Structure 1
Amino acid sequence: MRRNRNPNLQPRFDELTIESIDLEAQGVAHRAPEPHPETGVLPEKGKVVFVRGALPGERVRAEVVREKPSFAVAELTEVLHESPLRVTPRCKHFGTCGGCSMQHVEPLAQVAIKQRALEDCLWHVGKLKPAQVLPPIAGPAWGYRYRARLSVRYVEKKGGVLVGFHERASSYVADMTECHILPPHVAALLVPLRELIAGLSIRDRMPQIELAVGQSDTIMVLRVLEAPTAADHARLAAFEDAHGVLFWLQPKGPDSIHPRDPARAGDLHYLLPEFGIRMPFKATDFTQVNHQINRVLVDRATRLLDVQRNDRVLDLFCGLGNFTLPLATLAAQVHGIEGSQTLVDRALANAQANGIAAKTSFAARNLFEVTTEEVQTWGKFDRWLVDPPREGALALARAAAALSPVERPQRIVYVSCNPATLARDAAVLVHEGGWRLKSAGVINMFPHTSHVESMAVFEP
């Protein structure tokens, strides 16, 4: 994007050979070495240049948009020698919209790149190599994003309202008329939503739409800074009737959400049919964006955990019970721990709704500050499932590393959405606690993006 260029930077164009790709899906290259301006010493390698849109093995011409002492960032201007991995992006907004960063990469190659990124993180951050690389979990490449946060902006000079993802590396909203990672029935509403909101009295007081697609209903939560008028409600109701969606309103924080019309609140849930689980959720709850991949993920995690009928299992960062409830169909007892009491209450309600409350228990704890002594008070569990947010589970890894052999579980399965924090925590388990990294592999939860989800298995 030209607006990202430092205005004080003199234009510079480099011809570069791309050596690898980073976690942001940028090509990584080195300039030819240049002597140090003061010492005259010639370094072994030149400055690192990150080239947006370039692929490994390509020879490219790129314009530098940001220059730092240790690296530079450049925009691809011309591909001089093209990688066989390069494909034509399906979406016309690719390169402007920030929703995707890898549509120019063949889908199977995307998975391979993410696997390499995971292995590189494990090695460079943790000095670790898994004894086994797990087969990647992959699924449909398009129409998979059942959860999304769309920004809304009223831009008078552009003729109305914009609805979509932010532009890449920008606070601007992309001028989107199509999207191929949203479910088709939602993508088809991008233009009608613009027209709808442009006709509301609060068109400039609605900054965001939270999308949640369930098994049967699609709900859009409108962040409203002013209450809709009666005329606004009539327009919204007509849109619901015409397009088969339901609007909820959020005047303040996430807890303030409520159905626009209480008579048609909708029913959000997803299914885990392999375990006979029906999982209700609210429109602003954290759930996996890709329902198809989530089913495979839960099945893979439970298989890798190797749960036996008499086992006691600990599910850490349990959320709504995405893993807790399936595990309860296999084990004698499952105890879920989560930082939020509200989520704990919801997980218990979900267990009750599925008739497995007797095999589950839940507690609210701050797992980011947990100690070995606190873990010891929980009692002995045969297996742990750990599914933290991007921050990882460093305190928990340190606590597990310090447990005595008789206190340790027989196996830990760690599900991660950030390979860097996974590698950090794995290093603590292995190098400080003597655990073994038995296996690791990637989960392509977000095709066409640079997000790397992964799973690792540890044994004492």
Structure 2
Amino acid sequence: MSRSNSVPQTPFEAVITDLGHDGRGVARVDGKTVFVSGALLGERAILRLRKRHRRFDEAEVVELLERSPHRVEPRCRHFGECSGCSFQHLDAASQIESKQRVLSENFERIGKVSPQSWLPPLTSDAWAYRRRGRLSVRNVVKKGRVLVGFREEENPRFVADIQHCEVVHPALGPKIGLLAELLNTMDAASDIPQIEFAAGDDIMALVFRHMQPLSERDTAALIVFGQQHGLAIYLQPGGNSSVHPLWPEHPRLAFRIGSDDARYADVELEFEPLDFVQVNAGMNQRMLARAIELLDPQPTDRVLDLFCGLGNFTLPIARRVAEVAGVEGEHGLVERAAQNAARNGIDNARFHVANLFEDQRHADWAKQPWDKVLLDPPRAGADKVLEYLPHKQTRRIVYVSCHPASLARDAGILVNQHGFKLVSAGVMDMFPHTAHVESIALFEK
């Protein structure tokens, strides 16, 4: 292949020798790594170069010469155009295997650790599972219509023209095309850049971000759309604090998380439409059950739940222990967590507002002895917390992770600096058909 800066148009043949962490196939051509959209491990294909970079290139498949036995037909007609999914062409078992491999490689490469045993993967419904997300909106004058969807796979500046989404909650997934039709009739068609969606057990909420005040005609149209399709409609004229309901006047978003053990009552969590909730309700239930199993809460335990959010783990744990403290950086989430505790009749849970990416070692909750700790940090991980926690009294830590690299780094800290053993770990398929790796790990002294 030519090494000029221009992108050659001549297709070339290559064998896919690996699957990247983002779901793209990986080939080696003239000693250089090439990431190939839509290609799977073991496939031989004719490729066309799309972008050239100093350390790697990007290509697309022109023709498949040898297909992977794990290739399946994508269910969604927008697959390949929309960036919402990257693995619909790979069978379910191979998706899980790929995520498990990513987790294992990160432990070995970054943390220099490996679990004593692997937990069986957790899975749930692979379709119509996404109850929270953000749709982009763009009024394309040349096409004479509004597009609503996720960003395009090949060009994130553009919005994929989606009519029906197979992974979004059924209250909205089949209606995205109708939503685009609605916006196309509105005066504010060019002033609405995004729509957030969030589903509780009983209703789906849509939050319309608008850059200019809406006309009476537009607000009336949104109300009618909400009434026709059973959707709660919110408006967001500014920052997150500006979000307010348009219809109905007082919508209630909530979801229940239950227990297979009759001794423990279900917990119901109320939330606001922009609050963080786990995307996959079925997986959240299974994840919670596994976290509690690994934590092994006892009636005399004192448990610390860091990055607690709305109390998704805190409140079910509280039903099983003497005391639990939840710590979270966002004031609104902490306030709603405390309200959820009171609403569920839980009086042994305390909540604290603290930026866990800053040193909190002098906070009262950080100085107390805790028998067990649960960590559920964002992508950045919990390394700042691990500078002063856990204390010597802590014998068990359950770490829920949304990023395998930060989990692996923190696992190395817990094992090599704090003297814990990485007892077990495994993946949880919170985002089927994507390359996103959610995982859980148990550490013990």
What is the TM-score with the length of structure 2 in the denominator? Answer: 0.94
Q: Conserved in 1, the CA contact under 8 Å of 2:354 and 2:360?
A: no
Larger deviation: 49-58 or 447-456?
Answer: 49-58
**Does 2:439 align with 1:454?**
yes
Question: Could you tell me which residue of structure 1 aligns to residue 239 of structure 2?
Answer: 253
Question: Could you tell me which residue of structure 2 aligns to residue 304 of structure 1?
Answer: 294
Deviation readout 1:202-230 (Å, 9 max, x if unpaired): 11111111001110011100001122222
- Aligned ranges for residues 2-151 of structure 1 at < 5 Å? 8-11=6-9, 13-32=11-30, 46-151=31-136
**Does 2:314 align with 1:324?**
yes
Shift of residue 375 of structure 1? 8.3
**Does 2:386 align with 1:400?**
no
Pick the aligned partner of 2:336 from 321, 327, 346: 346
- Aligned ranges for residues 162-173 of structure 1 at < 5 Å? 162-168=147-153, 169-173=155-159
Q: Conserved in 1, the CA contact under 8 Å of 2:151 and 2:159?
A: yes
Pick the aligned partner of 2:379 from 361, 370, 390: 390
- Aligned ranges for residues 183-222 of structure 1 at < 5 Å? 183-222=169-208
Deviation readout 1:35-81 (Å, 9 max, x if unpaired): xxxxxxxxxxx222221211111122222222333322221222211
Larger deviation: 311-320 or 67-76?
Answer: 67-76
Question: Could you tell me which residue of structure 2 aligns to residue 284 of structure 1?
Answer: 274
| Whole-Å separation in 1 of the counterparts to 2:404 and 2:387 | 18
| Whole-Å separation in 1 of the counterparts to 2:348 and 2:396 | 20
Question: Could you tell me which residue of structure 2 aligns to residue 178 of structure 1?
Answer: 164
| Partner SS, residue 304 of structure 2 | strand
Question: Could you tell me which residue of structure 2 aligns to residue 39 of structure 1?
Answer: none
Question: Could you tell me which residue of structure 2 aligns to residue 243 of structure 1?
Answer: 229
Q: Conserved in 1, the CA contact under 8 Å of 2:206 and 2:232?
A: yes
| Whole-Å separation in 2 of the counterparts to 1:197 and 1:17 | 45
| Whole-Å separation in 2 of the counterparts to 1:166 and 1:14 | 28
Shift of residue 376 of structure 1? 8.3
| Whole-Å separation in 2 of the counterparts to 1:298 and 1:53 | 33
Amino acid aligned to 2:173: A
The runs of 5 or more residues in structure 1 that have no matched partner are 1-5, 33-45
Q: Conserved in 2, the CA contact under 8 Å of 1:130 and 1:438?
A: yes
| Whole-Å separation in 2 of the counterparts to 1:258 and 1:434 | 49
| Whole-Å separation in 1 of the counterparts to 2:300 and 2:411 | 28
Relative distance call for 1:243 and 1:376 in structure 2 (3 A) is: closer
Deviation readout 1:347-404 (Å, 9 max, x if unpaired): 1111111110x21111111211236565885311010000000111111233337x4x
Amino acid aligned to 2:277: T
Amino acid aligned to 1:53: G
| Whole-Å separation in 2 of the counterparts to 1:7 and 1:195 | 43
Shift of residue 136 of structure 1? 0.6
| Whole-Å separation in 1 of the counterparts to 2:191 and 2:366 | 50
Pick the aligned partner of 2:143 from 158, 178, 187: 158
Q: Conserved in 2, the CA contact under 8 Å of 1:209 and 1:221?
A: yes
Relative distance call for 1:7 and 1:268 in structure 2 (3 A) is: farther
Amino acid aligned to 2:144: G
| Whole-Å separation in 1 of the counterparts to 2:428 and 2:296 | 19
Shift of residue 126 of structure 1? 1.3
Q: Conserved in 2, the CA contact under 8 Å of 1:246 and 1:265?
A: no
Shift of residue 99 of structure 1? 0.6
Question: Could you tell me which residue of structure 2 aligns to residue 38 of structure 1?
Answer: none
| Partner SS, residue 142 of structure 2 | helix
Relative distance call for 1:226 and 1:373 in structure 2 (3 A) is: closer
Instruction: Count matched residues.
Output: 436
Amino acid aligned to 1:244: G
What is the TM-score with the length of structure 1 in the denominator? Answer: 0.91
Amino acid aligned to 1:150: L
Deviation readout 1:214-253 (Å, 9 max, x if unpaired): 1001110000112222211221222122111121000001
Relative distance call for 1:7 and 1:265 in structure 2 (3 A) is: farther
| Aligned-residue CA RMSD (Å) | 1.7
| Partner SS, residue 150 of structure 1 | strand
Relative distance call for 1:386 and 1:377 in structure 2 (3 A) is: closer
Amino acid aligned to 2:69: P
Shift of residue 265 of structure 1? 2.8
| Whole-Å separation in 2 of the counterparts to 1:351 and 1:14 | 61
| Partner SS, residue 172 of structure 2 | helix
Deviation readout 1:127-149 (Å, 9 max, x if unpaired): 21111101111011100000110
Relative distance call for 1:161 and 1:341 in structure 2 (3 A) is: same
Q: Conserved in 2, the CA contact under 8 Å of 1:246 and 1:264?
A: no
| Whole-Å separation in 1 of the counterparts to 2:257 and 2:239 | 30
Relative distance call for 1:76 and 1:190 in structure 2 (3 A) is: same
Amino acid aligned to 2:41: P
| Partner SS, residue 157 of structure 1 | coil
Question: Could you tell me which residue of structure 2 aligns to residue 43 of structure 1?
Answer: none
Relative distance call for 1:185 and 1:366 in structure 2 (3 A) is: closer
| Whole-Å separation in 2 of the counterparts to 1:375 and 1:305 | 23
- Aligned ranges for residues 369-380 of structure 1 at < 5 Å? 369-370=358-359, 377-380=366-369
**Does 2:341 align with 1:355?**
no
Q: Conserved in 1, the CA contact under 8 Å of 2:171 and 2:204?
A: no
Q: Equivalent pairs: percent with the same residue?
A: 43
Amino acid aligned to 2:289: D
Larger deviation: 162-171 or 137-146?
Answer: 162-171
Q: Conserved in 1, the CA contact under 8 Å of 2:303 and 2:325?
A: yes
Question: Could you tell me which residue of structure 2 aligns to residue 36 of structure 1?
Answer: none
